[in-house]
Structure 1
Amino acid sequence: MRILSCLVVAHNLWLVLLALLVGIAGSWVTFRLFRQAQARQGRQRAGWVLLASQAAGSSIWCMHFIAVVAYDAGAAFTFDPAWTMVSLFVAVTGCAYGFWIALSNRFRAAPEMGGAVVGLAISAMHYSGMLAFRIDGLIEWQAGYILLSVAFAVFFGVLTLRQAVRPFVRESGYLVVGLFVLAVVSLHFTGMAAFAVTPIAAGGESISAALAAFAVVGVGMLVVGSGVISYLLDEQASQETLRRLEHLALHDALTGLANRPRALAHLDGAFAQADKSGEKVAVIGIDLDRFKEINDVYGHKAGDDVLVTISGRLADLLREGEFVARIGGDEFMAVKRFSDHASLDSFLVRLDAALSMPLSVAGSALPSTASIGVAIYPDDGADREMLICHADMAMYQSKHDLSRRISFYEQAMERATLERFALAQDLGRALDLGQFTLHYQVQKSVASGDIVGYEALLRWNHPLQGSISPAVFIPIAEETGHILAIGEWVLRTACAEAATWDAPHKVAVNLSPVQVINADIPGLLRAVLVETGLSPKRLDLEITESTFIADKAKALRVLRQVKALGVSLSIDDFGVGYSSFDTLRSFPFDKIKIDGCFTRDADRSSEARAILRSVLALGRSLGIPVLAEGVETADQLARLRAEGCAEAQGYHLGKPMPMERARPIAMRAG
């Protein structure tokens, strides 16, 4: 009753309410800052603890002095400045020490110990602040109430820090604020009940209660305000950092497009929205054609520039319901929600147009194309992984079928993929099972008709599918790496069989670019020539221009070592690549083999005839004989003779034959 009487009768309740509001606001700021300290370590934690303790200490100090000003002592009173500042210092340092202990984790009761220290700091602030109280009168203290006030402060301080660090009531941020305010309020009014004043002089000058109260509020709010500003600045910086991290996590660093994780999340959202609206979703796989050649010929910086340029074009064409992402390397994914097929067709046309615009690379204008595959949700699959897989299948169909750049998924593609996988498995066992044989196609002098050599051609006799074309299994062998063992077998077998011929004709063997880059071709050649006894002058190795794409420097080094052995080198399928003349300039080949498409089309295409004549003229100017492939008619042979071609091969001169049938021809020619 004494405490309640002190509160209701001896205090100005409006100023008490003001003190309470200041305490609530200050406590809210204090524990916002305290949470920041919890999330930090080391010096950063120390900084946030200091800010939280300044907010806490100034709040306690404000509540105390506003409440003291609200007290009706019955006589004039003032405050001693020194003790007033001491009380503020005690509050801030005591709270700082208590907060630091509570966050230390050095022992299990650390929060409770820190709360007890904060309770003692509140008590020390109150009673040092009362020493600043100056009044004309006799002051009496009752020890029982003093001890009770300290006990209240410590008790509620312990509950406050326990709730703040290791909550006993979950999801209750307001509880910690209430407990802290209660620690201050219970201490103050119990402590004021222990305080009694007997005035001994009337009159005297006293400060204005309202003015003093608001002055205290102003000082306290300046301190609390600094904490609020620090908190807000940190929150803004944290949010900006979070946004940057989210952007980095969901966007490609080079192009700024969405990356694979964001694309997958977008697909999930698009599927869910399509289910609600009854729309469909097109998942579109995009792969740039011949991008690796740009990287290898012009450098990775040029390749990066191409990716940035194409990404910018794709981003610019997007409309509502459309999405594009770079999912790795030169692969992109586009997504389109649509209700009618015409809108999808329009999007695909815009995509193809953007991907087909010429590119400026190192000052040169290069053509740009891409292979596009489309799978439709829910028609072609019910989940994103299946649809992405089906879009990739359609995209690879576009890449292999040069007649179209955009392919829609069909079930037959999946069967083709499975068949290709099974073929790759069988290919790995074919060599051990003896399923490979060599056929030989004759090469003749155009002028005399004499045999000048034979080209060794690999054949695969599959136990179930019969004879499989090299155009089908050689790319698979190169992708899987089986070409290394198969190529070695071809070289060894061709040299061994040619060594048995009675006529010293040359034997031509094709080398894969994979062999040139990944195998020790010079070492293999030395071993095979010694083993078979074949003269190096009788061996002609044929390579394509793509040999120089992967690693031009290494390819040139290997070919020079091969030529040093006395083996001749021919460039095969000449004329189909845009770097043909650069290739001839880089290495002195012994023979140029012009691709059969120019020979076959020369009768009906003026462009083919022009290219044929140009290559023949180039060979003459460089002193390199030219062999024309694909001679199928007497007219074609006559044209080559008239144009001055040195050698030829094709069905008109002789079909590829097994060793048993080719050997008698070689013997008769001899």
Structure 2
Amino acid sequence: MRVISCIATEHNLWLVLLAAFVCVSGVAVALRLLRKAGENRGVQKGGWLFLTAVAAGASIWCTHFIAMLAFDAGAPISFDPILTMISLVIAVGGCGYGFAAALSRKIRLAPEFGGAAVGVAIAAMHYTGMLAYRVDGIVDWDTNYVIASVAMSVVFASLAIGQAVRRSRKFSAWAGLGLFTLAIVSLHFTAMAAVSVTPMSTRMAFTEPAILQAMAVAVAVVGMMIVGTGVVSYIIDAQTSEESYRRLQHMALNDALTGLPNRTSFSSHLDNEIERAKENDSKLAVIGIDLDRFKEINDLRGHKAGDEALKLVARRLTRMLGDGEFVARVGGDEFAAMKRFTEQADLLDFVARLKDTLFQPMRIDDFDCATGASIGVAVYPQDGENQERLVSNADLAMYRAKADVTRAICFYELRMDEASRTRQTLARDLRRALELDQLELHYQVQTSVSTGEIRGFEVLLRWTHPERGHVPPSEFIPIAEENGLIMAIGEWVLRTACRQAASWDKPYKIAVNLSPVQFAHPDLASLVKNILTETGFDARRLELEITESTIIADKVRTLQTLRRIRELGVTIALDDFGVGYSSLDTLRSFPFDKIKLDRSFMSELEENPQAKAIVRAVLTLGKSLNIPVLAEGVETDDQLTILQTELCDEAQGFFLGRPKPVEQIFGLEGADSDADQQFSGRMPLARMARKQVA
């Protein structure tokens, strides 16, 4: 009742309300700034702590000073300027220390300890200010009220700061605001209730009440300006953070070059559209787009022109979009679109507009061009009911459009596109097979036609799929060539074959096929040399087989590479001769060590005179050029007899020996005798006798 009586009878209530307003406003801002400080680290945390300390300390000091001016001491008053300023410094510094301690993670009760320090600072500020308060009279203090005021300040401040830092769910933000305000107000008015003034008769004049009120208002304005600084800082930071978040979000969801949504944004939008289509029982088209001649622009005009082309295409696509339509850039020159529709005509119209837009000519700098595009369409739900399936099927349809020069738009077709999917799956499995060492080499014998002796072995690659079983090379080799995996496979075959053959007791030659794609290796000759050195294999025992298509692709570069390989001591054979180009210029341009006659002639050799005439002509050509000829695909004794009659040098085929793993050809013991016994009996004794008589 003494405190209430002091407020009601000894204070100017108007100024008390002004002090309360300053106190509540300052405390609200200070707690906001404190939370901001707790969300930051390093220098930023220090900056926010400084703003918090200034806002809180200034609010506490202004509240105290205005309330002091509201107190009617019944005698003339004045203020010591030095102590008054010291009290302000104590308020700001003490709050700064307390807030810093509250945000420390070194001790468990750091928030409560920091709050208690703030409470002590409030008390120290008040009583320092009271020392600066000079009244013309005798001042008496009630110790009990003084102790109570300090205790309440410490307790309430500790609870308030603990609540603000921990963000406990048991109390609301209003509770923290109320506790901190109570810490300030309870200390001040309880401390004022401890004061009793006995006026003295002096010549000191009373200060005009209007002047005291003006001072109080001025202090309040200055205090609110300081608090306002904190508010503005908070708002600016919040605005900057929001703008940064929006900018980062835009960067995360949009392509930096074109401004179109990126793959992430497309994926999210597609999920939403699928859910919407499910709810509304409508249809949704997913469209894959690949620019056809974009690489030409990059190669001929540079990447800057390519970037300009992409930005122009993006702007055109954006302008053509209507309701329920969406387009994104998902890769280098790849775009994706989607269309919500109910009638097929709406989808066809959208696809037609896409085509017209993408095929429009464009002018970049001083040249005209048109990118064109391949477009693939998959429709929900018949072509897929989830995002992964729809996008995959749209891509398959797009690849089909890209492979067909007569069509720019292809819709997903189960039969045709599943074949493409199977090839893609097989390509992934082939890569895994290489990594897991699931490939193996088989060897097929090559024998002398005249004597039947073993001349060497052709190395053949075999793949047993864990689920599909045996996959023929005619199926997986083209796939490996398409996706570039043939480079790694070819290197593995050459290294493995050389290592295995190096361990044989007899120096049989091995023939390894080279894919045309392998000649894209930056230094194929050095690769061959390194493998020979690594495995210790004699270069004279290695024969590399190439087809004419390899030479036709880049004649000058290929022949230079072959000459470098031949300088190592490796022999070069021209494979599949008689089909394809069969150009005599190829034989003139490079001195091949062997010609391999294609197996297709062997199947008709016994019955077709033209086939026999071609074989005879090739054999004569080989003799005239002094190049040995090997006939592939020998499957009967009669075929071998004809080759002997026509003086063919070497033969290879199922009749002479099927491809087998090296373990089945060369046993762990008696390797040479095993091989000799396996293949020497292939030439019947009767035919050998006829040969000797001839």
Identify whether the pair has TM-score above 0.5, normalized to the shorter chain: yes
Q: Distance in 2 between matches of 1:115 and 1:280?
A: 62
Task: Give CA-to-partner distance per residue, 1:559-588, whole Å, 9 cap, x none.
Answer: 774698997999xxxxxxxxxxxxxxxxxx
Contact 2:260 2:328 in 1 (8 A): yes
Partner of 1:270: 273
Q: Distance in 2 between matches of 1:321 and 1:151?
A: 67
Q: SS of the residue aligned with 1:205?
A: coil
1:23 maps to a residue whose letter is: C
Contact 1:267 1:384 in 2 (8 A): yes
Q: Distance in 1 between matches of 2:240 and 2:66?
A: 36
How far did residue 514 of structure 1 move? Answer: 4.2
> Aligned pair count?
554
Q: Distance in 2 between matches of 1:436 and 1:281?
A: 55
Partner of 1:31: 31
| Cα separation, partners in 2 of 1:249 and 1:486, compared to 1, 3 Å | closer
How far did residue 363 of structure 1 move? Answer: 6.4
Partner of 2:189: 189
Contact 1:94 1:117 in 2 (8 A): yes
Task: Give CA-to-partner distance per residue, 1:9-61, whole Å, 9 cap, x none.
Answer: 22222222221111111111111111121112222211111110110011111
Partner of 2:233: 230
Q: Distance in 2 between matches of 1:145 and 1:206?
A: 30
How far did residue 6 of structure 1 move? Answer: 0.9
Contact 1:516 1:558 in 2 (8 A): no
Q: Distance in 1 between matches of 2:640 and 2:364?
A: 49
Structure 1 vs Structure 2 CA RMSD: 4.7
| Cα separation, partners in 2 of 1:168 and 1:138, compared to 1, 3 Å | same
> Which of residues 392, 401, 420 in structure 2 aligns to 1:389?
392
Contact 1:380 1:387 in 2 (8 A): yes
Q: Does 1:314 align with 2:321?
A: no
How far did residue 95 of structure 1 move? Answer: 0.4
Q: SS of the residue aligned with 1:328?
A: coil
**1:251-290 pair list within 5 angstroms:** 251-289=254-292
What 5-or-longer segments of structure 2 have no aligned partner?
447-459, 498-512, 576-582, 588-630, 649-694
Task: Give CA-to-partner distance per residue, 1:201-257, whole Å, 9 cap, x none.
Answer: 486333524312211101111211221222222222212221221111112223322
How far did residue 284 of structure 1 move? Answer: 1.1
> Which of residues 326, 330, 336 in structure 2 aligns to 1:327?
330
Q: Distance in 1 between matches of 2:32 and 2:274?
A: 41
Q: Distance in 1 between matches of 2:645 and 2:300?
A: 46
Q: Does 1:119 align with 2:119?
A: yes
| Cα separation, partners in 2 of 1:175 and 1:657, compared to 1, 3 Å | same
How far did residue 326 of structure 1 move? Answer: 1.8
Contact 2:486 2:518 in 1 (8 A): no
Contact 1:483 1:514 in 2 (8 A): yes
| Cα separation, partners in 2 of 1:462 and 1:12, compared to 1, 3 Å | closer
| Cα separation, partners in 2 of 1:106 and 1:292, compared to 1, 3 Å | same
1:61 maps to a residue whose letter is: W
Task: Give CA-to-partner distance per residue, 1:57-116, whole Å, 9 cap, x none.
Answer: 111111112212222222332333222222111111110111111112121121111111
What 5-or-longer segments of structure 1 have no aligned partner?
439-457, 494-508, 571-588, 594-655
1:543 maps to a residue whose letter is: T
Q: Does 1:15 align with 2:15?
A: yes
- Greater shift, 427-436 or 15-24, is seen at 427-436
Q: Distance in 2 between matches of 1:136 and 1:359?
A: 92
Q: Does 1:513 align with 2:517?
A: yes
Task: Give CA-to-partner distance per residue, 1:242-281, whole Å, 9 cap, x none.
Answer: 1221111112223322111111111122223334444322
Q: Distance in 1 between matches of 2:110 and 2:304?
A: 57
Task: Give CA-to-partner distance per residue, 1:403-433, whole Å, 9 cap, x none.
Answer: 3222222332453245435765699799958
> Which of residues 180, 203, 206 in structure 2 aligns to 1:204?
206
Q: Does 1:474 align with 2:490?
A: no
> Which of residues 532, 543, 547 in structure 1 aligns to 2:550?
543
Q: Distance in 2 between matches of 1:359 and 1:119?
A: 73
> Which of residues 401, 411, 415 in structure 2 aligns to 1:412?
415
Partner of 2:160: 160
- What is the TM-score normalised by the length of structure 2? 0.68
1:42 maps to a residue whose letter is: G
- Greater shift, 239-248 or 464-473, is seen at 464-473
**1:35-434 pair list within 5 angstroms:** 35-169=35-169, 172-201=172-201, 204-208=206-210, 209-289=212-292, 291=294, 303-358=306-361, 368-413=371-416, 415-417=418-420, 419-420=422-423
**1:569-588 pair list within 5 angstroms:** none
1:389 maps to a residue whose letter is: S
Contact 1:459 1:468 in 2 (8 A): no
How far did residue 119 of structure 1 move? Answer: 0.3
Contact 2:396 2:421 in 1 (8 A): no
- Greater shift, 85-94 or 463-472, is seen at 463-472
Contact 1:75 1:136 in 2 (8 A): yes
1:179 maps to a residue whose letter is: L
- What is the TM-score normalised by the length of structure 1? 0.70
What is the aligned-residue identity percentage?
A: 42
Task: Give CA-to-partner distance per residue, 1:111-149, whole Å, 9 cap, x none.
Answer: 111111100111111111122223222211111101110
Q: Distance in 2 between matches of 1:303 and 1:227?
A: 49
2:220 maps to a residue whose letter is: V
Q: Distance in 2 between matches of 1:242 and 1:416?
A: 45
Task: Give CA-to-partner distance per residue, 1:567-618, whole Å, 9 cap, x none.
Answer: 7999xxxxxxxxxxxxxxxxxx99599xxxxxxxxxxxxxxxxxxxxxxxxx
Q: Distance in 2 between matches of 1:663 and 1:48?
A: 99
- Greater shift, 63-72 or 164-173, is seen at 164-173
| Cα separation, partners in 2 of 1:289 and 1:510, compared to 1, 3 Å | farther
Q: Distance in 1 between matches of 2:108 and 2:331?
A: 50
Contact 1:516 1:547 in 2 (8 A): no
How far did residue 352 of structure 1 move? Answer: 1.7
